[in-house]
Amino acid sequence: MKQHLVNITLLVDDYDRAIEFFTWKLHFELVEDTHLSETKRWVVVRPAGNEGCSLLLAKAADAEQESRIGNQTGGRVFLFLHTDDFERDYKNLLDNAITIVSEPRMESYGKVVVFSDLYGNKWDLIQPL
């Protein structure tokens, strides 16, 4: 049997605001933006050059979902973004005024910095060894 993750849902408050953040500030690719109804869209973004797992940007549909925006993991790092050039991507975070949660550091697995997206979800940016 062969399986792989295709999409991970990320709750957002506004499709266009989320698309702007991920495509303009993180330089992700907009893979799909299909209108399903007047209130629902199928919006998929992924890191540039990646053919693997993507993010499905899903607008919160009710108060319970809205309460989870920015805190889908109870405050833990939620997503892990590998890079081939840490300094380039760290500079991009700074240039775009993206919140840095902890300063860059070397770990046994590579160079890492924790940052927050526009909703407060924590990410690790990692250049593996």
Along the chain (129 residues), what's the average pLDDT of each consecutive run of 10 residues?
A: 94 98 98 95 95 95 96 94 97 98 97 97 97
Residue-level pLDDT at 50: 87
10 with 68: CB under 8 angstroms? no
Report the top-level CATH class of 71-129.
alpha beta
Q: Identify the CA nearest to 107 among candidates 89, 124, 92.
A: 124
**1-69 and 71-129 share one fold:** yes
Identity at 46, one-letter amino acid code: R
Domain boundary assignment for the chain: 1-69, 71-129
88: helix, coil or strand? helix
Which CATH architecture is the domain 1-69 placed in? Roll (3.10)
- pLDDT for residue 51: 84
Residue 103 DSSP code: E
First to last CA, the chain: 30
Q: What is the pLDDT of residue 84?
A: 96
DSSP 3-state assignment of 117?
Answer: coil
